[in-house]
Structure 1
Amino acid sequence: SAIMDVLAEANGTFALNLLKTLGKDNSKNVFFSPMSMSCALAMVYMGAKGNTAAQMAQVLSFNKSGSGVDIHQGFQALLTEVNKTGTQYLLRTANRLFGEKSCDFLSSFRDSCQKFYQAEMEELDFISAVEKSRKHINSWVAEKTEGKIAELLSPGSVDPLTRLVLVNAVYFKGNWNEQFDKENTKERPFKVSKNEEKPVQMMFMQSTFKKTYIGEIFTQILVLPYVGKELNMIIMLPDETTDLRTVEKELTYEKFVEWTRLDMMDEEKVEVSLPRFKLEESYDMESVLCSLGMTDAFELGKADFSGMSKTDLSLSKVVHKSFVEVNEEGTEAAAATAAIMMMRCARFVPRFCADHPFLFFIQHSKTNGILFCGRFSSP
């Protein structure tokens, strides 16, 4: 539907902007769930007015959508689709706003959180029970993510001045449509950089997959479907002589869509070597969002959340934590997994050997939503 396309574009644009911002230090691994982050921030946006709302729309790319489209109805449809029961993957998103109880939140705002985002606005006593509030938030997140994300808020991250905390966590577990045979997993060197190697447990499989080669960035793209093919992992592996930074620089949402079109890919037998890995990343999003232009929301006196509460409010904290484990059976992620390729002489089965840094995305086939983005650059 039109709203889904608009939303996929907005969320996809935001996803790649975040990938570039979080990945500024290009020696670091990156792993996060852009869709989860978009949802959580859209919930806050619902209560924002004036310049605060304008900045948020800009950063979240909602302003692309034209005024005729209801963003919140779009998210309602998207969340219903992605979180639907009866899928062959397990996906749990946990979004909640925790507000200081003296701030008197509007019931209209609370109702909308529930209706559109399957999320609650919960009131806590940050003023006189700050540690109790922090522990309450952490245990709620742990429960929602099957225990994978235990300590979302570290000690001292909330204080008696805290007014509004946005919590956002995702847990994903999926099995590969075709699993790797554990007997083929061997220790192999992973080329972190030109002069540094680290050992990884490298998985191996020969099978038929969709893949393509993008000449303009000297990069192979491989699609590894999860069981049921409702989700795919898309891996972008540059040639050994090409820096991953080149790929990241070139990547826009339009190009991502063009390069990952399944109907334009070849389906062929290929030898896949992909490291087994586990990533757990935490991001305090305030500086990231400010650098993208969402500044007023965090500044008391400038922030306008009058759609949420009559009290003067600003956003105190936005925390995102994600977890992914990629192994022979598939991916377990309180956020994602990866594989890569190298063209050899045509007589051989082509090889995708992810033994140097690559990007990976987990995408929901039906909505084209990017559930997770990652960069694996160092074991």
Structure 2
Amino acid sequence: MSSLTESAVRFAWSLLNQVIEQHKSENVFLSPASVQVALAMTLAGAKTETEAELSQALHLSQLKSPHSDMGRLISALNSGRQGVKLAVANRLFAERSFAIEAEFSGTLAKSYGAELGSVDFKQQCEAAREAINQWVEQQTSSKIRELLARGSLDTNTRFVLVNAIYFKGDWMDPFDRDDTYDGQFESVPGSQSPVRMMQNKRDFLYTEGRGLRLVQLLFAGDSCSMVIVLPQERHQLDAALKSEARLDNILELARQAMAREVDLHLPRFKVETQFTLSDPQYLPAMGVKRLFTEGCADLSGISKSSRDLFVSKVVHKACLEVNEEGAEAAAATATCVVDCAKLEDDSVTFNVNEPFLVLILDRSTGCVLFAGMGGGGGISNLDWTGPSQTWRRVLRASLFSAAIPRMSSLTESAVRFAWSLLNQVIEQHKSENVFLSPASVQVALAMTLAGAKTETEAELSQALHLSQLKSPHSDMGRLISALNSGRQGVKLAVANRLFAERSFAIEGEFSGTLAKSYGAELGSVDFKQQCEAAREAINQWVEQQTSSKIRELLAQGSLDSNTRLVLVNAIYFKGDWKHTFNPESTYDGQFESAPGSQSPIRMMQQTQQFPYAEGRGLRIVQLPFAGGSCSMLIVLPFERHGLSAALQAVGSLEDILALAGSATEQEVDLHLPRFKVETQFSLSDPQYLPAMGVKRLFERGHADLSGISTAENLFVSKVVHKACLEVNEEGAEAAAATAVAIACFSMPMMMPFFVTEPFLVLIKDEATNSVLFAGRINQPKE
């Protein structure tokens, strides 16, 4: 190896390991060569500590003339290979008014063959982005499309350095399509998926050692090859690679390969990946930090007219297709450089393409109507209104009032309960959808509180943050009346109902409080004899109150003949934006739910004056609804993918609302996903309300609900909550409902024992008490 090749191999291994570490259960495919060339071009303009950091990370610090060496390598790669197509191309796209140092542009032209493309980032940023993407597409035979997503560049962009690499080769010994068969691929032990498996039995270069087995597949012309590496011990690839620690060891092992007859079975596949390598877990974790830091990056070798340049992002996209004829691969890397000195003068770019926070508050009362947070992976219930897809992280969303009102004591209690409940649910669903209505849950439980006594009352009052209020039910009544008083331009409705067993004697004071303060009429049903009809009646009422948005709140079997009453709250909101989004501006974007994990979405876009605030590690935009009485508040972190840390640092919803209250009108380039989400939670489960201190309410024999009735021993059998939200170009629609089911306690004649979940089994000898066999059954099979 030459010195440069050794450096390239070391960088390739460092980068590959860094990316694999972040994507242990996902496909990883990239071009270290493309990334290194793009960053080496950036290195040509770096100075002082920025240059030292980048040179060290690229493993180029030991080379006397890295750019000349790079030039010779690129020329060699482009010199032509018999039997394969291999092409490397570089380009510099610069703002037409931006003054570039001649030495920098000269180095890029001479060593990297990078011609200068003049574009207008200031006035026609979108056209410039399209021009860059078109160039990349041309250089990669249309394999790499949309390298730069819409919204990834803005008017502060000064230039973009781009590398593209393309490869296509036919096998020296192609696979016979007639031999391809339906096989199984075991990604992890016991987890198989169907694949089309190619098969070829002939002489291949083969070697084994250091815990690895290698096969080389030569391409026509014998100038290039594909190396396939397997561990000698099945499913131990990660361990074997860690023991090797270096790519040059693997390549040395490959050089020792000798021709040997191999019965090769190789999947036919395609893979495409994209990574934002400027994210903290990639290049910064490899030591490249100053380059991405405003005020710290030194790129004065690029331009002396602006000493405020820094790299805003490094985007890399790669693809590979392997079939019977051969293989085709392409990759591209873009390094985007912006001028941070201009940031204060231009519009704010607010691209909601990562997990975010949303709250729905009423303007006059400050009540948190809906709330949700997220940031985990594998969301299964998110239904985008565009193409079908799965979003990988929990949606962080809710709605909020246009102005932040002065909070009453009840509103303060409601905000604190909302924060407590939201955090408790999020903690249990880090990798799932979370969206709920704290207001609905609090009202339903406050109705229950009206019948609670002694320690049960104290626990519930404390958890609801109502213990400091002198007359919580009267306060709740005034709040509900205010919410139902009408809002200009939006529809907002809150409804309550009490469904009681027709033979059940309810205390007059309890039913009177619910009727007077909560407007909860009494519905008489027959839980004892016609439980299913009663359940359907409750669900039908909820559906009517929420404009059919909440269906089947209570699932079949959730109530039984011991149910005595069900307290239900329903809340519904619908509003059109004050500034609607133009559907023609909605585009196919990417949402990065976790670093490096992207999924396609339909992204709405508009540039408009919006209330905007930033501080305490957060950025906030408010979208007003028609009439100005309500708005949607969206929160992003300063540091990408740092929402959880930022919210923990803030510590309370009051602080977030105070920050939102300081917002000022500012031009915002807003990019917001179009989406639907629906969730359901059984809040009586141990990890929710009981973990918040509400325990006696759910305990048979301990719950004191004597304020409801003294005729029977009562307890809450379940608290069910369901919520949904839809956001589109016209506006937003949200609904939620909460049901508190109260049952009487009686020992059943027969104890049900349904073994429908994982269980422990023991076979023991009664005479000796010896355990003969033992096991845990997760999935029983005949």
Is the TM value for this pair above 0.5? yes
1:257 aligned residue (654, 657, 664): 657
Alignment of 1:110-129 (within 5 A): 110-129=511-530
Instruction: Tell me the equivalent position of 1:179.
Output: 580
Instruction: Tell me the equivalent position of 1:164.
Output: 565
1:9 aligned residue (412, 417, 422): 412
Structure 1 gaps, min length 5? 336-379
Alignment of 1:94-243 (within 5 A): 94-214=495-615, 216=616, 218-243=617-642
Judge which range, 92-101 or 275-284, deviates more. 92-101
User: What is the distance in 1 between the residues matched to 2:532 and 2:611?
Assistant: 50
Contact conserved, 1:99 with 1:165, CA < 8 A, in 2?
yes
User: What is the distance in 2 between the residues matched to 1:53 and 1:271?
Assistant: 50
SS of structure 2 residue aligned to 1:334: strand
Contact conserved, 1:200 with 1:275, CA < 8 A, in 2?
yes
Contact conserved, 2:480 with 2:494, CA < 8 A, in 1?
no
Judge which range, 244-253 or 190-199, deviates more. 244-253
Contact conserved, 1:167 with 1:318, CA < 8 A, in 2?
no
Q: Give the counterpart letter for 1:225 in structure 2.
A: P
Render the CA deviation track for 1:207-245: whole Å, top value 9, x for unaligned.
11111112x3x2201111111121121111113534222
SS of structure 2 residue aligned to 1:178: coil
1:34 aligned residue (438, 442, 448): 438
Shift of 1:49: 1.0
User: What is the distance in 2 between the residues matched to 1:92 and 1:230?
Assistant: 14
Shift of 1:158: 1.1
Instruction: Tell me the equivalent position of 2:345.
Output: none
User: What is the distance in 1 between the residues matched to 2:456 and 2:523?
Assistant: 22
Shift of 1:104: 0.7
User: What is the distance in 2 between the residues matched to 1:73 and 1:3?
Assistant: 19
Contact conserved, 1:168 with 1:320, CA < 8 A, in 2?
no
Change (3 A) 1:35 1:294: same
Q: Give the counterpart letter for 2:439 in structure 1.
A: M
Render the CA deviation track for 1:264-306: whole Å, top value 9, x for unaligned.
2221111111101111111111021111111111122211112
Contact conserved, 1:134 with 1:153, CA < 8 A, in 2?
yes
Contact conserved, 1:94 with 1:145, CA < 8 A, in 2?
no
User: What is the distance in 1 between the residues matched to 2:636 and 2:567?
Assistant: 34
Q: Which has the larger radius of gyration?
A: 2
Shift of 1:194: 0.8
Q: Give the counterpart letter for 2:658 in structure 1.
A: E
1:306 aligned residue (706, 718, 723): 706
Q: Give the counterpart letter for 2:638 in structure 1.
A: D
1:274 aligned residue (669, 672, 681): 672
Instruction: Tell me the equivalent position of 1:371.
Output: none
Change (3 A) 1:43 1:55: same
Q: Give the counterpart letter for 1:113 in structure 2.
A: L
Render the CA deviation track for 1:344-376: whole Å, top value 9, x for unaligned.
xxxxxxxxxxxxxxxxxxxxxxxxxxxxxxxxx
Change (3 A) 1:4 1:207: closer
User: What is the distance in 1 between the residues matched to 2:675 and 2:519?
Assistant: 32
Same amino acid, percent of matched pairs:
38
Instruction: Tell me the equivalent position of 1:92.
Output: 493
Q: Give the counterpart letter for 2:467 in structure 1.
A: N
User: What is the distance in 1 between the residues matched to 2:466 and 2:426?
Assistant: 23
Judge which range, 273-282 or 167-176, deviates more. 167-176
User: What is the distance in 1 between the residues matched to 2:524 and 2:682?
Assistant: 22
Contact conserved, 1:126 with 1:159, CA < 8 A, in 2?
yes
Instruction: Tell me the equivalent position of 2:684.
Output: 286
Instruction: Tell me the equivalent position of 1:81.
Output: 482
User: What is the distance in 1 between the residues matched to 2:433 and 2:732?
Assistant: 17
SS of structure 2 residue aligned to 1:230: coil
Instruction: Tell me the equivalent position of 1:374.
Output: none
Shift of 1:168: 2.9
Render the CA deviation track for 1:107-157: whole Å, top value 9, x for unaligned.
221121111011124332222211111111111111111111121111111
Q: Does residue 1:18 correspond to 2:418, yes or no?
A: no
Shift of 1:185: 0.5
User: What is the distance in 1 between the residues matched to 2:489 and 2:641?
Assistant: 36
Shift of 1:54: 0.3
User: What is the distance in 2 between the residues matched to 1:99 and 1:220?
Assistant: 47
Render the CA deviation track for 1:35-73: whole Å, top value 9, x for unaligned.
1221111111111111111001111001233xxx31112
User: What is the distance in 1 between the residues matched to 2:727 and 2:487?
Assistant: 23
User: What is the distance in 1 between the residues matched to 2:655 and 2:446?
Assistant: 25
Instruction: Tell me the equivalent position of 2:460.
Output: 56
Contact conserved, 1:163 with 1:314, CA < 8 A, in 2?
no
Judge which range, 183-192 or 74-83, deviates more. 74-83
SS of structure 2 residue aligned to 1:103: coil
Instruction: Tell me the equivalent position of 1:338.
Output: none
Q: Give the counterpart letter for 1:280 in structure 2.
A: E
Shift of 1:3: 11
SS of structure 2 residue aligned to 1:151: coil
User: What is the distance in 2 between the residues matched to 1:207 and 1:82?
Assistant: 29
Change (3 A) 1:133 1:117: same
Q: Give the counterpart letter for 1:52 in structure 2.
A: T
Contact conserved, 1:165 with 1:317, CA < 8 A, in 2?
no
Instruction: Tell me the equivalent position of 1:358.
Output: none
Q: Does residue 1:244 correspond to 2:647, yes or no?
A: no
Contact conserved, 1:171 with 1:323, CA < 8 A, in 2?
no
Q: Does residue 1:323 correspond to 2:721, yes or no?
A: no
Computed over aligned residues only, the root mean square deviation of the Cα atoms, in angstroms, reads 2.0
Length, aligned pairs only: 328
Higher relative contact order (CA 8 A, sep 6+): 1
Contact conserved, 2:483 with 2:493, CA < 8 A, in 1?
no
User: What is the distance in 1 between the residues matched to 2:454 and 2:600?
Assistant: 52
Output the TM-score relative to the length of structure 1.
Answer: 0.82
User: What is the distance in 2 between the residues matched to 1:332 and 1:132?
Assistant: 29
Change (3 A) 1:139 1:265: same
Q: Give the counterpart letter for 2:458 in structure 1.
A: A
SS of structure 2 residue aligned to 1:260: helix
Shift of 1:4: 6.1
Shift of 1:164: 3.3
Higher helix fraction: Structure 1 or Structure 2? Answer: 1
SS of structure 1 residue aligned to 2:721: strand
